[in-house]
Amino acid sequence: MDKPAVAVAAAAAIFLFLISSSSAHSCNTARTFTGNRVYSICNTLPVLDSFLYWNYHQANHTVDIAYTHYPVNTSNWVAWALNINGSGMTGADSLVAFQGSAGMRAYTSPIADHGTTLAEGPLSFNVSSISSEFLNNNEIVIFATLQLPAGRTTFNHLWQVGPLSGDIPGIHEMNTANKISMGTVDFIKGGASKKNINIHGVLNTISWGILLPFGALVAKYLTVYKSESREWYFIHNICKISAYIIGIAGFATGLIVGQQAPIRNIIHRNIGIALFCLATFKVFVSICEPKEKKTCLIFKKHKEWYWTWYHWGNGYAVIVLTIINVFKGFDLLNVDKGWKGAYIVLVIIYGVNVVFLQLRSWCI
């Protein structure tokens, strides 16, 4: 294998290792909570290291929930809420818990507006058996049974964490993760999970962020060193086709995530759509690539010149947009630093290889 290929393959292996080794809690329906509580469904919520467990009872439209947040400390409050008749914070009915001066406290709080202090009050639906616990000095769990409206199982929900001022909840931070901690939950089918978001991120990073740049590297520089060989063309096409197929899967999971847990970031969404459109157009236009004894209406005159500039412009536009969007995705989800660090290392390795190979090509 060529040295550039070895370097990039090693970088990709490091990237995938760091992803797989990123530390995070995960849902475990085998977990037994205090009081021998067990739950049949669990969702890892997309942001803020939160988890929602529940058992839904269709006969009487009630749901037993356990909301957990990790890590927290005694200076934090946590809350989980349903918005029965709308979306977002205003109008939501919340369950709040924190470690107060007199011990653990759990109560209900209706949210009238964004200036709420999470004062205790009744909700628009009945809540029974509400309680909470502080585990291992780093995890808060809220337990409750909710009486849901008949005929509905899908609702908008949101979750949050913030600072305490004495025994009074303060305003939460305004980081991206805090702003997008909302989605939909279906108590029969399940709801938005972090698994789908991770699949979306991994698929797109591998396809657009790793395979596609590597294919471009092969096409640009292996032709210089092995002009008589067609191996570069085979590797280039394998990378390009694989990246597109995996990218389709990544784009599809992005649509699913957008439906389950709408993340309101227009830039990230629009760049993703642009990438998919550019790649799709390139695949279909590939039939017009100039070859011997082959003509194409689009490139009928000066076809090689047109094709070269189109192919070069499209390819590099996709690579640049990909790098931007990968980092947008990292920031959007406030991911573990290992993910971002691994991709930075990968981009640096690509850059070093490009500079090195370009310099060598000038000397041949």
| Residue with token string 């067990």 | 38
CA-based nearest residue to 53, from 180, 159, 181 = 159
In which residue ranges of the chain is CATH 1.20.120.1770 found?
3-21+195-363
Taking the C-alpha atoms of residue 362 and residue 194, their distance in angstroms, rounded to an integer, is 47
What is the spatial distance between Cα 110 and Cα 121, in angstroms, rounded to a whole number? 6
Q: Residue 61 and residue 131: Cα distance in Å, rounded?
A: 20
Per CATH, the number for 3-21+195-363 is: 1.20.120.1770
pLDDT of 229 reads: 56
Give 103's DSSP letter.
E
Write out the two tokens for 55.
Answer: 């058992």
**For the whole model, what pTM was predicted?**
0.56
**Tens of pLDDT along the chain (364 residues)?**
444 444 444 444 444 444 443 434 567 778 899 999 999 888 888 888 899 999 999 889 999 999 999 899 999 999 999 998 888 888 999 999 999 888 999 999 999 888 888 999 999 999 988 999 999 989 999 999 999 988 888 899 999 999 998 888 998 888 888 888 998 888 876 654 556 777 888 888 888 888 888 887 777 666 655 545 567 677 777 888 888 889 888 888 887 766 655 455 678 888 888 888 888 887 776 655 555 444 454 445 555 666 667 777 887 888 888 888 888 877 766 566 777 788 888 888 888 877 877 777 676 6
Query: What are the residue ranges of CATH 2.60.40.1210 in the chain?
Result: 41-191
Rounded distance between C-alpha atoms, residue 298 and residue 45, angstroms: 48
Q: Is 104 exposed, middle or buried (0-12, 13-18, 19+ CB in 10 A)?
A: middle
Per-position b or e across 292-309, b if 16+ CB within 10 A of its CB: eeeeeeebeeebeebbee
Strands of the 50-57 sheet, one edge to the other: 41-44, 50-57, 62-69, 139-147, 127-135
Encoded tokens for 109: 């709080």
CATH number, span 41-191: 2.60.40.1210
pLDDT the model gives residue 251: 86
pLDDT of residue 307: 65
Please classify residue 291 by burial: count the beta carbons closer than 10 Å to its beta carbon, then call 0-12 exposed, 13-18 middle and 19+ buried. exposed
β-strands 154-165, 139-147: how paired?
unpaired
pLDDT of residue 1: 45
